[in-house]
């Protein structure tokens, strides 16, 4: 990924579902104007989830995700369903291709019914689509059946028509959730003209030659909001403050040096951390803060789950694998049990755990993180994230702006 492109985690995820040969991959290719997905009339051509990033006018950065047919018998049933469910965990919008490839006669919507119900249950706005209208004899009937069955008017498309893309675009715009795009990292914490000091350690864990994504995104947003952004490392914080005519309105730092920065903070400046900002941007900050208090009631017999989004090779002083477990054990006792999972391995059943601590999720989209939070909430398991947990363990949670 280059720094000039929108990261996938910030794109609207649009997932295409339907039976084998319903035209899913062709639709993806038509929309993106590229041969991104292999199209063929051999059932089960799409056995893996293929995704394609693009910009859609009026919508912005999107990621289209193609899936294997939900009736695909060429992949093991369980594996297929799992792949589709995984794709849905991050879906902001679904495109449901209806009617399969029976182009004549009375349409069968049995499988579509099942998946439409699942999408509804997952609260994923769904655009119903009828494909292959150039060769289909039963288009009108299929449209009527879909209206009857799902109370929605489907979009009719064919792979060779440029109009199809425009119709799909309008339908996606209409299906967009109310709050889409209201997302902001710094929210109402800053106003135009505010001076914001970023105190960013560039230690052994920092990638060589660049800043990490949350820092880059925060800087960009502050510049867009016409703030004056000043940055320094913790060692130079005093000098940076002296170079300013008045204290900055806001200081943003890394949770790892939060205590140190708090000590140096001028009275008039508010203080927050990148991970706290991203907890709000990517997750449910209120649940995270509330859940961090569960740390206070941990016992030496408690069990913790640490979940990281990345599957990167652990660094020498890894926050999730080493620092947090060490801080917790120092407080609670050495026998505290800590399980670590990464990537897509997030357990369905969280009830064996007294607390879940998730990473900052810079590689996940908001939808994905909120899905995990919802699972924790519904199972009554507290869930927080690295930044909030460290803030609480260092006794500074109450001093942070969020």
Ligand X SMILES: Nc1nc2c(ncn2[C@@H]2O[C@H](COP(=O)(O)OP(=O)(O)O)[C@@H](O)[C@H]2O)c(=O)[nH]1
User: With contact defined as beta carbons under 8 Å apart, do 196 and 229 qualify?
Assistant: yes
Candidates 29, 46, 139, 164; binder of Mg ion (CB under 5 A) is 46
Residue 224 phi, psi dihedral angles, 5° rounding: -60, -35
- Residue 39 Cβ vs Mg ion, minimum distance, rounded to whole Å: 7
CA atoms of 355 and 114, how far apart (whole Å) = 34
Residue with tokens 């998946």: 115
Q: What is the largest CA-CA distance in the chain?
A: 78
Q: Which entry of ligand X, Mg ion, none binds 134, CB below 5 to 8 A by partner kind? A: ligand X
Which CB sits closer to Mg ion, 23 or 387? 23
Q: Which entry of Mg ion, ligand X, none binds 158, CB below 5 to 8 A by partner kind? A: ligand X
User: With contact defined as beta carbons under 8 Å apart, do 175 and 94 qualify?
Assistant: no
Closest CA to 288 of 354, 376, 382: 382
Q: Which two tokens stand for residue 319?
A: 């926050």
CA atoms of 305 and 384, how far apart (whole Å) = 10
Q: How many CB atoms lie within 10 A of CB 291?
A: 24
User: With contact defined as beta carbons under 8 Å apart, do 204 and 316 qualify?
Assistant: yes
Which CB sits closer to ligand X, 39 or 338? 39
- Residue 21 Cβ vs ligand X, minimum distance, rounded to whole Å: 4
| Bridge-based pairing state of the strands 50-56 and 60-66 | antiparallel
- Residue 178 Cβ vs ligand X, minimum distance, rounded to whole Å: 31
N residues, the chain: 402
Which CB sits closer to Mg ion, 29 or 361? 29
Residues 101-130 that bind Mg ion (CB under 5 A): none
Strands (E), 67-194: 93-98, 126-130, 155-156
Residue range at the interface with Mg ion (CB under 5 A); choices 18-26, 74-82, 139-147, 360-368: 18-26
Which CB sits closer to ligand X, 71 or 354? 71
Which CB sits closer to ligand X, 17 or 306? 17
- Residue 44 Cβ vs ligand X, minimum distance, rounded to whole Å: 8
Which CB sits closer to ligand X, 159 or 388? 159
For residue 67, give the 3-state DSSP assignment. coil
Q: Which residues pair with 384 in a beta bridge?
A: 357
Which CB sits closer to Mg ion, 46 or 249? 46
Which CB sits closer to ligand X, 134 or 339? 134
Q: Does 25 bind Mg ion (CB under 5 A)?
A: yes
Q: Which entry of Mg ion, ligand X, none binds 132, CB below 5 to 8 A by partner kind? A: ligand X
Residues making contact with ligand X (CB under 6 A):
18, 20-26, 39-41, 45-46, 69, 131-132, 134-135, 158-159
- Residue 149 Cβ vs Mg ion, minimum distance, rounded to whole Å: 24
- Residue 225 Cβ vs Mg ion, minimum distance, rounded to whole Å: 42
Q: Does 36 bind Mg ion (CB under 5 A)?
A: no
- Residue 130 Cβ vs Mg ion, minimum distance, rounded to whole Å: 17
Number of amino acids touching Mg ion (CB under 5 A): 3
CA atoms of 109 and 117, how far apart (whole Å) = 12
For residue 363, give the 3-state DSSP assignment. coil
Q: Which entry of Mg ion, ligand X, none binds 41, CB below 5 to 8 A by partner kind? A: ligand X
DSSP assignment of 27-47, as one string?
HHHHHHTS--S---SSTT---
- Residue 36 Cβ vs Mg ion, minimum distance, rounded to whole Å: 11
Residues that bind Mg ion (CB under 5 A): 24-25, 46
């Amino acid at each position: 990924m280059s720094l000039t492109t929108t990261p996938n985690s910030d794109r609207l995820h649009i997932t295409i579902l339907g039976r084998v040969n319903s035209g899913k991959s062709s639709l993806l290719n038509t929309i993106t104007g590229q041969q991104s997905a292999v199209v063929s009339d051999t059932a089960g051509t799409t056995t893996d989830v293929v995704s394609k990033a693009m910009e859609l006018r009026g919508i912005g950065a999107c990621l289209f995700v193609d899936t294997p047919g939900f009736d695909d018998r060429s992949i093991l049933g369980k594996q297929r369903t799992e792949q589709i469910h995984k794709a849905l965990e991050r879906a902001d919008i679904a495109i449901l291709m209806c009617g399969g490839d029976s182009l004549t006669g009375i349409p069968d919507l049995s499988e579509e019914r099942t998946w439409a119900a699942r999408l509804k249950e997952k609260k994923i706005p769904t655009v119903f689509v009828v494909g292959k209208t150039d060769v289909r004899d039963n288009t009108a009937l299929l449209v009527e059946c879909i209206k009857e069955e799902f109370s929605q008017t489907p979009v009719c498309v064919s792979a060779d028509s440029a109009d199809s893309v425009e119709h799909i675009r309008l339908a996606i715009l209409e299906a967009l959730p109310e709050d889409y795009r209201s997302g902001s990292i710094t929210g109402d914490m800053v106003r135009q003209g505010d001076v914001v000091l970023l105190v960013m350690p560039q230690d052994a864990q920092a990638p060589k030659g660049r800043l990490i994504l949350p820092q880059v995104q925060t800087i960009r947003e502050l510049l867009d909001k016409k703030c004056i952004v000043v940055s320094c490392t913790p060692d130079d914080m005093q000098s940076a403050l002296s170079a300013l005519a008045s204290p900055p309105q806001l200081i943003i730092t890394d949770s790892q040096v939060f205590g140190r920065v708090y000590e140096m903070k001028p009275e008039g400046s508010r203080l927050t951390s990148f991970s706290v900002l991203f907890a709000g941007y990517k997750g449910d900050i209120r649940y995270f803060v509330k859940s961090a208090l569960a740390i206070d009631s941990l016992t030496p017999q408690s069990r913790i789950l640490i979940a990281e989004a990345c599957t990167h090779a652990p660094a020498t002083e890894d926050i999730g694998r080493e620092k947090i477990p060490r801080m917790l054990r120092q407080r609670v006792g050495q026998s505290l049990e800590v399980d670590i999972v990464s990537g897509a391995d997030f357990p369905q059943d969280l009830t064996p755990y007294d607390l879940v601590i998730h990473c900052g999720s810079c590689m996940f989209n908001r939808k994905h993180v909120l899905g995990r939070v919802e699972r924790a909430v519904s199972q009554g398991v507290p869930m927080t994230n690295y930044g909030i947990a460290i803030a609480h363990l260092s006794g500074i949670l109450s001093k942070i702006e969020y």
